[in-house]
Structure 1
Amino acid sequence: MKKAVNFEKDLLEAYEKGELVSTSPSKKEKEKFKAAAQATFLKDRRVNIRLSSPDLMDIQARALEEGVPYQTLIASVLHKFVSGRLVEKPSRLTSRSTRTAKKQASG
């Protein structure tokens, strides 16, 4: 917690000294951001999916942490996935078939 307080103090001091400079996006950048926002929030189709109760509860808990409705969180995750911005971390677990093959090869 102290790090955050110190960081905030440093920001305030920099602001008061005039060291922070406000930058505004160009007109072209504003149009680009506007188009991206409109495309992101355009919801013209309904989809029904079935989820396990534990998965839905986890999604709802995560949405609560993020301060967004859970359906919005689901839509955001799907949008990031299809746009290539959702990066999957490699699993530390091995599949059963991989373990079985390793056992057979060593045995």
Structure 2
Amino acid sequence: MKNHDEFEKDILDAYEKGDLISTKPSTKEKEKYKAAAQATSLKDRRVNIRLSSPDLLDIQARALEDGVPYQTLIASVLHKYVSGRLVETPSRLATRTTGRGKNPRIP
């Protein structure tokens, strides 16, 4: 059985008491959500890119940290960048140094 944090416990308690009610989105809201879902899920083109090994390892680690496949993370970052919604947040991972010999993963 999963241990719930305080926020989750509050939601569960409210649900069990019947305090939560279901609301239906308006037709306009439904169309907005539908368009957003279609725009983000449409993947009809394939692109090949070359990345440095350290960058790919960092991307894979960040994806693992976020709980998503690394290809999904790359696509998400690119989508946010081109749509003007990319907001940089610090990673919990240690920042790697650049340059040969300074990175422990590069001999």
| Short-chain TM bin | 0.5 to 0.7
Aligned residues: 86
Q: Render the CA deviation track for 1:57-81: whole Å, top value 9, x for unaligned.
A: 1111222233322111101100001
Pair member with larger Rg: 1
In structure 2, the CA distance between the partners of 1:20 and 1:83, relative to structure 1 (3 Å rule), is: same
Q: Render the CA deviation track for 1:8-48: whole Å, top value 9, x for unaligned.
A: 33222222332222222222211221121111122222222
In structure 2, the CA distance between the partners of 1:37 and 1:9, relative to structure 1 (3 Å rule), is: closer
Unaligned runs of 5+ in 1: 90-107
Counterpart residue number, 1:19: 19
Percent sequence identity over aligned pairs: 83
Residue identity opposite 1:72 in structure 2: T
Whole-angstrom CA distance in 1 between matches of 2:5 and 2:36? 34
SS state of the match for residue 74, structure 1?
Answer: helix
The alignment status of 1:34 with 2:34, answered yes or no, reads yes
Q: Indicate the RMSD between aligned Cα atoms, in angstroms.
A: 2.0
In structure 2, the CA distance between the partners of 1:55 and 1:31, relative to structure 1 (3 Å rule), is: same
Q: Which has the higher contact order (CA 8 A, sep 6+)?
A: 2
Q: TM-score, normalised by structure 2?
A: 0.66
Q: TM-score, normalised by structure 1?
A: 0.66
In structure 2, the CA distance between the partners of 1:23 and 1:52, relative to structure 1 (3 Å rule), is: same
